[in-house]
Amino acid sequence: MLFAPSIANATTSPVGTPASAPAVVGAQTGTGVDGEYVVVLKPEAAAAANEGVADSISDAAGGEVTEVFDTAIDGYSATLTAAEASAVAADPRVQSVEPVQTMVALAEQVSPPNWGDDRIDQRAFPLDGRFVYPDSAGAGVHVYVIDSGIRGTHSEFAGRLGNGFDATGAGQPYQDCNGHGTHVAGTAAGTTYGVAKKATVHSVRILGCNGKGPSDASLAAIEWIMENAQRPAVVNYSIGCLTACSYPALDEAVKNLIASGISWVQAAGNSNDNACLYSPQRVPEAVTVGNSTRQDVKNSTSSYGSCLDLWAPGTDIISSFHTSDTATKSLSGTSMASPHVAGSAALMLGETPSVTPAQITQALVGNATTGVLSGLDGASPSRLLYTGFLNPTTTTPTAVDLAAIPDQTSTVGTAVDLAVTATGGTAPYTYSASGLPAGLSISATTGRITGTPTTAATSSVTVTVRDAASPATQDSVTFSWKVNASTTPPSTCTGTSVSSGTLASGAQAISATFSRTAAGTIEVCLDGPTGADFDAYLQKRSSSGTWTTVARGITTAPDEKFSYSATAGTYRVVVVSDSGSGAYTATVK
């Protein structure tokens, strides 16, 4: 993708705007693989045999079906002209048509010694030169590495390779002409450099020798895993778009795989950008990982934001490489951070094979080391991967402890998002609350209190956390929560409204287009909800129909205002909720 933001292009209309005519999702970006599309079927159409529906649509609208999906998603990939793609999108059996995008490996090359395994099993510096892990070391767990392949003869994986899949057409999952996949697999489960040293490794090859591949290969990989996976299993996906990209079919496929009981761990990306603007990094059920350095600092290239779950060592990581059976290489990127977490998930599954993806996420996030990372933005979690909780011989069992919660003050109509933190005990935790203000609720699995207060009042709130030990331990905290009546100030935006409505956290809205017949200044003003972080982007349409961001307001405030010296042309405004939710108005003049 070539511009930002592009989450859910043309799929989210501003509140109060009529739904548009059937269109190809993301077609206006102009960055898809020429002539290749993914067609997602509506549930009622998918009730029939997908292959028959695909052939029927192709016969009516044109194009050639290349692959049919019936597990990860209901749909198919096809070669289509732009006109045929539009005709397919208009078919009543079709939910969406999306151009195939180019996905890339997420890494950079450097050359110092390894340190990642040493960091994740201890809370603080200095490093002790040891990596302590459970004796099971992931034995019996299956780690699926979606990447550029794995050198199957490498000594790091001797005797521990399972069946594999090659979506590149070469039919050789255990060959790797790029090296990225071999390196990632070595970090997750290599004998010397890996976290889960006894896990079985499966190569799922979708990238070519240049480290690139089409996004429908990711769909084929997920489809194959869902139909062939040996369990318990975890997937590592150190792949993504170079610039902000929306791929709803891939998001849906990842959600379906996780719902089937397989954990999905993925790299946040190396664009130093908000990971919530990328597919599938924006999928909340997945575990999304940022890159931290050996000084516990955010790597300058790592993507960030509220869609991240954890940070892990990803800078100067030494692991296996593809050039010989004993080769190693030092690489940096979120690609290197992600397999530390995937390997940790495999360690947990090795100890307790019955744990669910949600329980794995809760345990890894809940036991992460807090307060040691620096260089983070306000939306990113300050949580560094920690595996020591899996080592009963190195930790002393303690009762669960709920951190103090200060008294809260909110306003009617303004969204609330309050994180509650528990430590100690035995994860996963279960949270509950009594006395919450009307309109608010607590997540039983994460402890996060969210919602929008509806009534002005003062409440005494008690939050309780219970751990999974036998017998269980619990802790409670009581605090005051005052909700004030709404005192929303009048909007400071005085131009012509082009978009208004309500956005949830991580969502976006695209305005109707407007034109300028002559050169002049365009002033964009966004009035967002108090306490949220809303951003605005001004985009211009080119003669070929693609949209490019020409100006933006991306502070951490709810309101944005900026000007652009415009030439004649067609423009639109994109409003994105980076964090928080509520009503907004965007104007131009």
Phi and psi at residue 258, to the nearest 5°: -65, -40
Average pLDDT, the chain: 88
- Domain-located, residue 491: no
Domain count, the chain: 4
- In three-state form (DSSP H/G/I as H, E/B as E, the rest C), the secondary structure along 105-140 is ECCEEECCCCCHHHHHCCCCCCCCCCCCCCCCCCCC
> How much is the pLDDT for 48?
61
- Token duo for residue 326: 């004993």
Q: Are residues 140 and 206 in the same domain?
A: yes
Please check whether residues 432 and 298 belong to one and the same domain: no
Residues that are catalytic: 147, 180, 335
**Which pLDDT tens digit goes with each residue over 535-589?**
999 999 998 888 888 999 999 989 999 999 999 999 999 999 989 888 999 999 9
Nearest residue to 474 via CA among 441, 503, 433:
433
* Assigned domain for 226 exists: yes
Mean pLDDT, residues 511-518 taken together? 94
Are 405 and 539 in a shared domain? no
Give the residue from 48, 73, 100 where a domain finishes. Answer: 100
Residue 317's nearest CA partner among 290, 336, 344, 295 is 336
Reply yes or no on whether the pLDDT at 18 is more than 60: no
Name residue, tokens 């790299």: 267
- Position 395 in a domain: no
Please give the residue that has the higher pLDDT: either 469 or 519.
519
Looking at 34-43, 72-81, 200-209, 392-401, which range is the least confident one?
392-401
Q: Which one, of 402, 416, 309, 418, lies nearest residue 364 by Cα?
A: 309
Q: Are strands 449-451 and 416-418 parallel, antiparallel or unpaired?
A: antiparallel
Residue 396 located in a structural domain: no
Q: Are residues 422 and 383 in the same domain?
A: no
pLDDT grade, residue 111 (50/70/90)? very low
What would the pLDDT profile of 131-140 be if each residue is shown by its tens digit?
889 989 999 9
pLDDT confidence band for 196 (50 / 70 / 90):
very high
Q: How would residue 522 be classed by pLDDT, with cut points 50, 70 and 90?
A: very high
| pLDDT, tens only, 448-475 | 999 989 899 999 999 999 998 877 899 9
Residues 44, 48, 54, 57, CA torsion sign? negative
For the segment 304-309, the average pLDDT, to the nearest whole number, is 96
Report the share of the chain in percent with pLDDT over 90. 72
Task: Grade residue 502 by pLDDT with cuts at 50, 70 and 90.
Answer: confident
User: What pLDDT, on a 0 to 100 scale, did the predictor assign at position 497?
Assistant: 93
pLDDT of 269 strictly over 60? yes
- Say what the pLDDT of residue 116 is: 87
Q: How confident is the model at residue 491 (pLDDT cuts 50, 70, 90)?
A: low
What does the pLDDT read at residue 394? 44
For residues 193 and 326, state if they share a domain. yes
Q: What share of the chain is helix, strand, coil (3-state, %, to 5)?
A: 20, 35, 50
Q: What is the mean pLDDT of residues 89-114?
A: 70
Q: Are residues 212 and 85 in the same domain?
A: no
- The pLDDT, as a whole number, for residue 424 is 86
- In this predicted structure, the answer to whether residue 10 has a pLDDT above a threshold of 50 is no
Query: Is 479 in a helix, a strand, or coil?
Result: strand
- Kindly state the average pLDDT of the residues 169-188: 96
Q: Which of 76, 100, 124 is the last residue of a domain?
A: 100
Instruction: Please state, in angstroms and rounded to a whole number, the distance separating the CA atoms of residues 141 and 347.
Output: 8
Whether 8 is in a domain gets the answer no
Task: Confirm whether 563 is domain-assigned.
Answer: yes
Of all residues in the chain, what percent carry a pLDDT higher than 70? 90
Q: For position 490, what pLDDT does the model report?
A: 62
- Domain of residue 502: give its range: 496-588
Two tokens at 72?
Answer: 């990860």
Q: Last residue of some domain: 390, 412, 435?
A: 390
Residue 4 lies in a domain: no
- 254 within domain boundaries: yes
Kindly state whether residues 178 and 292 are assigned to the same domain. yes
Domain of 503, CATH number, reads: 2.60.120.380
CA angle at residue 336 from 152 to 507, to 5 degrees?
120
How far are the Cα atoms of 84, 157, 190, 252 from residue 327, in angstroms, in the given order? Answer: 48, 13, 12, 37
We report the CATH number of the domain holding residue 282 as 3.40.50.200
Q: Give yes or no: residues 379 and 456 share one domain.
A: no
| CATH code of the domain covering residue 450 | 2.60.40.10
Q: Is the pLDDT of residue 28 over 50?
A: no
More confident residue, 20 or 350: 350
Q: Is the pLDDT of residue 15 over 50?
A: no
Over range 237-257, report the average pLDDT. Answer: 94
Dist. CA 3–CA 574, nearest whole Å: 12
Q: Are residues 149 and 234 in the same domain?
A: yes
434 plus 556 within the same structural domain: no
User: Within this chain, do residues 371 and 287 fall inside the same structural domain, yes or no?
Assistant: yes
CATH number at residue 49: 3.30.70.80
Q: How far is Cα 180 from Cα 150, in angstroms, rounded to an integer?
A: 8
Residues in contact with 47: Cβ distance below 8 Å, sequence separation at least 6, in sequence order: none
Q: For the beta carbon of residue 454, count every other beta carbon within 10 angstroms.
A: 13
- 140 with 244, same domain? yes
